[in-house]
Amino acid sequence: MKKRLSELRVGKTAVITAFENDDIFLKLMEMGCIPGEMVKVDQKAPLGDPISITVAGYHLSLRLDEAEMIWVEETVITEHG
């Protein structure tokens, strides 16, 4: 299910699928946030701003308005046995 990165709960992992606009894309691309990259939400401040994430092996903090411009597809981890 596609959702905004800002909607992802702490501890959840997703794949970046798209950005709202080109301006935010260029800024985030420089930080390693590109479509197809896995992202994990590490922490959220009490009011949701900022959001701490891990992407491409880096720990980043994003403002809430930046996280709202990133579309992700939440990953589901299943165990096979």
**Full pLDDT tens readout for the chain, 81 residues:** 899 999 999 999 999 999 988 777 888 888 888 899 999 999 999 887 999 999 989 999 999 999 999 999 998 765 564
Q: Which domains does the chain have, with CATH numbers?
A: 2-74 (2.30.30.90)
Task: Identify which of 1, 6, 71 has the alpha carbon closest to the alpha carbon of residue 45.
Answer: 6
CA distance 41 to 36: 16
pLDDT of residue 71: 95
In the chain, alpha helices (H): 22-30, 64-67
Q: Are 4 and 17 in contact (CB under 8 A)?
A: no
pLDDT of residue 77: 64
- pTM of the predicted model, to two decimals? 0.84
